[in-house]
Structure 1
């Protein structure tokens, strides 16, 4: 209404009046009108289909998109699955399976992940990012180049040539998390920010930039996730050879490359958590399990019953807006002692 972009509105009043004055030509006029160029707006369904096509390029923003680290690990996972299949049939598998009499559980849940296990999984995801990077892709930005911004006094000459091992990545992350007393949830958010940076900035992780990329992601995740954030000067005490100015610049440019998008919905967090578990299972990285005891079973049953009661209560008593005229609430009157 009021727009000039539709087909009918694009015809002139003179043309419409001439069409009404000559009834014998009325059958040919609509064809002439439709031949004129029209500038129609894009339908909303077309825009939605276009967004669905771009899901794969934004895994940290869309819950249905595949995570980058799981996609880059598929080639190696197929070979490892074959070896796990052979080892399982030859009785060399270390995984313990539940039976009718015994149930094995671990302490790794989506609401309370195990810190040690999560750090191992995140370091494994970073390892696949570096190993299976695009050889023709852009790798280095100056702010992440370890030669230009060293984290230690001595940077080897081949710092950007040799891929780090998974245990070296795990040691680097574990040192930061243990010194700053960060949680396992922060490690998952770190991986989300890391893949969001690779997507937005269109770069790849390589031996020369992975440390500073991981450091920037941890720095930002610790401030967003934890209530008591770690200051930049605290990281300077962990990594002795960096300055506060360098940390400030790293944080500022990391945020600009993320386009200040630091929101991590629960659906994104859960997707990364379960994909990390899939990656760990494919690499035979198991979390220690314990047999389900009677005490733990009663505790799980109590937690499940409490959750069901809360869910039923939220369904039966939905929150509604109340008018001020009908508002009744208990008033607490202070007692007067005489």
Structure 2
């Protein structure tokens, strides 16, 4: 009798523990639904964004999340912990998507991201946003586009018939992961000698080129390489950057995937930004730190987006 009772009690406690753990997990991962879903920011089917507006009596800063996916797949996405902590800090969040290759080659994707930022500014009054405090976050391709946006000269066209395109494209800061600081295959070939990282199929599609002909392409293709590479546009008046990478500087490049997400990209950027006196923080070997990216990203965003520097 006592044995049966003990077994039953133990089973009940296990069930309660599992339920409690599931409840805690659900609470930790739960985020509110978007304030606005599938908002059209341009004419194409993939010109859509989800918008989470932080509760505030005054205009809030905003983070624009640009998803990765080798420029050819993916959808609106944002890290749940980053989203949750940003909203808690009083920072609004926008998640976008953009046109894909091979139907639309570069710079379509980069221009889409720029238009999304302009659209956010265009709606700043309506959404209670601070148009002077906009950051970009993203991973892989989304990271590369975030950096490109932050370094590129302002693309505002004050006389454009489209009021969205009259807005500024400039950013306050960028916080990215596993990002590429250049998409120029020639630069990548030099950065990773003895590897085939530069011949990544995503880059071939992005530029609509045959990598076997890399040294014999039309001049306009080389100009395009440079146009969509963040490093090309870096100048002394550009905003600060946080970069995180899963691997470390000594990680062997045993595949194109490892190479295209390797922290050597971040090392080159940091060296150049250090010379210009611009803040650039690079965290490597992130998978072994035991931290979440939100542990690094959110304090960085708070520092640069919140006026009181919390």
Length-normalised TM-score, structure 2: 0.22
Using CA pairs below 8 Å that are at least 6 residues apart, which structure has the higher relative contact order? 1
Name whichever structure is richer in helix by fraction. Answer: 1
Structure index of larger Rg = 1
